[in-house]
Amino acid sequence: MSDVARSDGADSSAARRGPPKRPLRLSWSDERFRGIVWQVVVVGLVLAVIAWLWRNTVHNLDTRNIATGFGFLWGQAGMPIADALIPYRPGDTYLRALLAGLLNTLRVALIGILLATILGTLIGIARLSKNWLLAKLAAIYVETLRDLPLLLQLLSWYVALQGLPAARQALNPVTGVYLSNRGLVVPTLVWQGAHGWALLVCALGIVATWYYHKAALARQMRDGQPRRVWPVALLLIIGLPLAIVALLGASWSINWPELRGFNFAGDSVLSPEYVALLLALTTYTAAFIAEIVRAGILSVSQGQWEASSALGLRRGLALRRVVLPQALRVIIPPMTSQYLNLTKNSSLAVAIGYQDIVSIANTTLNQTGQAIEGIALIMAVFLVVSLSISFAMNWYNARIALVER
Amino acid sequence: MNDTAKIAIGTAVAGVPEAMPRGPSSGTGRIFKWMRQNLFSSWLSAAITLLLAFLIARALFALVQWGLINAIWSVPDGQTQACRAARGVGACWAVVTEKHRFILFGTYPFEEQWRPALAILIFIALYAVSAMRRFWRKELFVIWLGALAVIGVLMWGGVFGLSFVPQERWGGLAVTLILATFGLAFGFPLGILVALGRRSQLPAIKTLCVVYVELIRGVPLVSLLFMASVMFPLFLPDGINIDKLLRAQIAIILFAGAYLAEVVRGGLQALPKGQSEGADALGLSYWQKTGLIVLPQALRLVIPPLVNTFIGFFKDTSLVLIIGIFDLLTAAKTAIIEPAWQGFSLEVYIAAGVIYFAFCFAMSRYSQRLEADLNRSVRR
């Protein structure tokens, strides 16, 4: 009844929106009916499997006397963490241990992404070099590292670092810097408030320089006169912070590393686990990034190079101002997935005993038996981190996307 | 950035290699000309060439010294003094010659090790057959089923007069190949189904597939393997217990399914809409349309990225080391656990690396050739 009424009045709009909706027939020959049946069957099956697994799990947890819920997070962790970024003692809670693990993951992932991008870009450009030797070397690097499992590379780096001399016979390339199988030790500054202020001013200086650079470019667009940016940068980024330090009268006392027993005292140690993980992730991901960068540069047509040189741009300038901005549009999406891969691969840390979030969650679930909560935590952390990286990269991608008329 | 620019200025990034002009006819003249163009085209280029040549020569010299001249190839039965003496100056390949059976076959009973060896050969033959385009037909499916069944019989035994070998004794390269191949054999159909589901018009099925793919791709494989090793036993009712290798295998299949689904989806999206509309116009059912029109074309489009994904899985199977399954890498790591052989891990890792590299390099070369081939015949 209502169907008839609708089709009467909506003739004109139906023509615009495509075919009108037919009434649902309860027959297998009706496509929509089939679709609904299929969905009910599939969803029902999935729900049934989940319910079955759920019942088994509840039963198993009951018989094994394993508690459920996240109450264990406030229990005493009792595990030592070798290099935590936040103050942590074995007496602290699981929550704090997991937080330390998360920071360790982020520390290796963020610095790894930065280093892999730099190394990968250099190698990708080197592979396109006209210098035959350089190009071949870059090609060999890429082919070799891409075809070996990351875990194998990680274990090899770790073994190689452990092959360094013991702390007592540490290599001493520069005064105060010691390299041994306990890691890298460097002298550190005794931290004072004035240094913090100087760092803040330095950061502000970088931002200000960036804006000055943009303004200078805008003015160059108007009158064609190039303007120097580096004196302003020097003043804002280095001069001002130094002036602040001098004004506040901060001292420059330095903590020199000293050998105590079998190891160095002080905590400014880059542990061999961290360095091995960082090296493995960086060199492995750089091989993939190099290929992405190479493909991106190749995707820009030769005519762009020729037109740039016809305008009198030097090759470096043409690369920076003409080719790279266009190549970036091809480069960024696959680069995002490499960044995500690097972050997920940082979980291999557990194989060499670097205590990242996966390693600590694993210890936690071994100690408490609460496997489901532990795994859920790992998954939640990685989902959040992955989504944040995708979000940031998508934002950047939208910003550099070609604005079409 | 500055460094980038510098290299670019000096050595000139070349988009498309320029056509080389005809050089002088004499051999040395041509070589000189080639060197001037490719090694010494500018001052910076010449400096880079000389520096690299120096570094390569030094590295090669050190490598030959360590790996060949000062290396120790065999030692009398577990007596590793010679190796210890040569530490730091020469490689101890004796550990590889001594332990190669263990690295390849793990703790499989020694007299029966011809069985995993044969299984490995069947795997390699299977890959070779699958790589040949002449065999890309329905019969390939039967070949795969047959080969996997034969491998199962060989590894387990218990029939045809072969003694039974429990899964805990399996190890080495055979396990790596089993994990990779079975992961692929089951993950690929799963991936196709999920990719189809993700492009389906039915909202509930689409949502399920999206959730599955994004959830699996969002977390590291390590966490899936942990889940397989500690959570699967909780999921199952009392009395039913599946062994560790099968649990890891399930995790790898789920993982492979999600990644392959995304690759297949790329192919489905790249296929012009007219193909499926044409199939609809002919009155084909959904499965006829998918199986006869859409998939054969869509899969063909994504063969190169599929091979790249396979390479990734082959490498990723090494992660089962973390949950203590005896694959090639774990066997290599365990081979040197005896005190006598401790400290020679680099040599063992190099040996395992050569095996991994051989498989991955072959696949990647194949993928490059295939891509060129397909691009020649299919213009898109």
For the segment B346-369, what is each residue's pLDDT rounded down to a tens digit? 888 888 899 899 988 988 888 888
Name the strand (E) or helix (H) holding A337.
helix A324-345
Q: Which of A58-62, A145-149, A247-251, B271-275 has the highest mean predicted lDDT (pLDDT)?
A: A145-149
B292 DSSP 8-state letter: I
What beta strand segments (E) does A131-275 contain? 178-180, 183-185, 188-189, 254-255, 259-260, 263-264, 269-270
Quote the pLDDT of residue A267.
52
d(CA A73, CA A360): 12
User: Average per-residue pLDDT in chain A?
Assistant: 80
Nearest CA in chain A to B40: A131
Average pLDDT over residues A248-254: 70
Helix (H, G, I), strand (E, B) or coil at B359: helix
Q: Which residue in B205, B198, B213, B190 sits closest to A40, CA to CA? A: B205
Residue A1 pLDDT level (bands cut at 50, 70, 90):
very low
Q: With CB atoms and an 8 Å threshold, state whether A147 touches B361.
A: yes
The minimal CB distance from B13 to the residues A129, A344, A345 is found for: A129
Average pLDDT over residues A253-260: 69
Beta-bridged to residue A184, according to DSSP, are A179, A270
d(CA B370, CA B131): 9
- Most B-contacting residue of A122, A131, A143, A381 (CB-CB within 10 A), to test interface: A131
Domain A94-190+253-400 sits in CATH 1.10.357.10: no
Which of A245-254, B10-19, B80-89 has the lowest average pLDDT? B10-19
The minimal CB distance from A151 to the residues B208, B318, B345 is found for: B318
Quote the pLDDT of residue A234.
85
A16, exposed or middle or buried, with CB in 10 Å at 0-12, 13-18, 19+?
exposed
First to last CA, chain A: 50
What superfamily would CATH give domain B111-158+176-315+353-377? Answer: MetI-like (1.10.3720.10)
Quote the pLDDT of residue A123.
92
Chain A residues touching B9 at Cβ < 8 A: 314-316
Chain A residues touching B180 at Cβ < 8 A: none
A80, exposed or middle or buried, with CB in 10 Å at 0-12, 13-18, 19+?
exposed
Q: Which residue in A359, A146, A287 sits closest to B315, CA to CA? A: A146
Quote the pLDDT of residue A263.
65
User: Tell me: the pLDDT tens digits for A6-20?
Assistant: 444 444 444 455 556
d(CA B192, CA B189): 5
The minimal CB distance from A302 to the residues B15, B204, B353 is found for: B15
Q: Which residue in B107, B113, B116 sits closest to B337, CA to CA? A: B107
Chain B residues touching A375 at Cβ < 8 A: 223, 226-227, 230-231
Q: With CB atoms and an 8 Å threshold, state whether A133 touches B223.
A: no
Tell me whether 0.90 is exceeded by the ipTM. Answer: no
Q: Is A108 on the interface with B (CB under 8 A)?
A: no
User: Tell me: the pLDDT tens digits for B122-175?
Assistant: 888 888 888 777 777 777 788 888 888 888 877 777 777 677 777 777 878 888
More confident residue, A238 or B5: A238
Beta-bridged to residue A254, according to DSSP, are A189
Range A271-282 burial, b when 16+ CB lie within 10 A, else e: bbbbbbbbbbbb
Q: Is A144 on the interface with B (CB under 8 A)?
A: yes
A174: left (phi over 0), alpha (psi -120 to 50) or beta: beta
User: Tell me: the pLDDT tens digits for A172-223?
Assistant: 766 777 777 777 777 776 667 777 788 888 888 889 989 988 888 888 888 8
Beta-bridged to residue A260, according to DSSP, are A263
Quote the pLDDT of residue A281.
94
More confident residue, B9 or A280: A280
Chain A residues touching B45 at Cβ < 8 A: 130-131
- Most A-contacting residue of B43, B193, B223, B348 (CB-CB within 10 A), to test interface: B223
Q: With CB atoms and an 8 Å threshold, state whether B230 touches A371.
A: yes
Q: With CB atoms and an 8 Å threshold, state whether A137 touches B208.
A: no
d(CA A23, CA B227): 47
pLDDT at A392 over 70: yes
Q: Give me the amino acid identity at A311.
A: L
User: Tell me: the pLDDT tens digits for B285-341?
Assistant: 888 888 888 888 888 878 878 888 888 888 988 888 888 888 888 888 887 777 777
For A171, phi then psi, to 5°, come to -70, 145
Paired tokens of A344: 């997920």
Paired tokens of A220: 């160059």
Q: With CB atoms and an 8 Å threshold, state whether B364 touches A131.
A: no
Residue spans of the domains in chain A: they are: 2-7+15-63, 94-190+253-400
Cβ atoms within 10 Å of A332's Cβ, excluding its own: 19
For B327, phi then psi, to 5°, come to -95, -170
Q: Which of residues 260-279 of A touch B (CB under 8 A)?
A: none
Q: Which residue in A358, A350, A343 sits closest to A388, CA to CA? A: A343
Average pLDDT over residues A296-301: 86
Instruction: Identify whether the C-beta of residue B171 lies closer than 8 Å to the C-beta of residue B107.
Output: yes
Quote the pLDDT of residue A264.
67
Instruction: Identify whether the C-beta of residue B179 lies closer than 8 Å to the C-beta of residue B248.
Output: yes
User: Tell me: the pLDDT tens digits for B192-246?
Assistant: 999 998 888 888 888 888 888 888 888 888 888 888 888 777 777 776 777 888 8
A363, exposed or middle or buried, with CB in 10 Å at 0-12, 13-18, 19+?
buried
Q: With CB atoms and an 8 Å threshold, state whether A147 touches B231.
A: no
Quote the pLDDT of residue A266.
55
d(CA A251, CA A254): 9
Chain B residues touching A386 at Cβ < 8 A: 218
Instruction: Identify whether the C-beta of residue B154 lies closer than 8 Å to the C-beta of residue B123.
Output: no
Q: With CB atoms and an 8 Å threshold, state whether A316 touches B356.
A: no
Which of A106-115, B17-26, B105-114 has the lowest average pLDDT? B17-26
Average pLDDT over residues B96-109: 78
Quote the pLDDT of residue A15.
47
Q: With CB atoms and an 8 Å threshold, state whether B346 touches A163.
A: yes
Average pLDDT over residues A378-389: 86
Helix (H, G, I), strand (E, B) or coil at B285: coil
Chain B residues touching A56 at Cβ < 8 A: 234-237
Beta-bridged to residue A180, according to DSSP, are A183
Q: Is A405 on the interface with B (CB under 8 A)?
A: no
Chain B residues touching A102 at Cβ < 8 A: none
Distances from the Cα of B299 to the Cαs of B98, B186, B296, B313, in angstroms?
45, 16, 6, 18
Q: Is A358 on the interface with B (CB under 8 A)?
A: yes
Quote the pLDDT of residue A4.
43
User: Tell me: the pLDDT tens digits for B268-292?
Assistant: 888 888 888 898 899 888 888 888 8
Q: With CB atoms and an 8 Å threshold, state whether B39 touches A125.
A: no
Q: With CB atoms and an 8 Å threshold, state whether B357 touches A387.
A: no
